[in-house]
Amino acid sequence: SNDTASSDNSLGLVVVDKYFIRYGLKEIYTFLHLTFQEFLSACYIVQLNSQAQEEVILKYGSDKSLGVVWKFYCGMTQFSDEKIRNFEQLVEQTKSEVLLHLRCAHESQQDILCTHIINSYGSKIVLNSLSLNPADFTALGYVLTHSSVPATELAITSCNIGPEGLSALEKAVNPSLAMKTLR
pLDDT in tens, 83-120: 899 999 999 999 889 999 999 999 999 999 999 999 99
What's the rounded Cα separation, in Å, for the pair 8 and 117? 48
- What are the residue ranges of helices labelled H in the chain? 18-21, 34-47, 50-60, 67-76, 84-93, 98-108, 111-120, 134-146, 163-173, 175-182
Question: pLDDT tens, 11-50?
Answer: 455 555 665 566 666 666 665 556 778 988 999 999 999 9
Q: Can you name the residues that pair with 30 across neighbouring β-strands?
A: 15
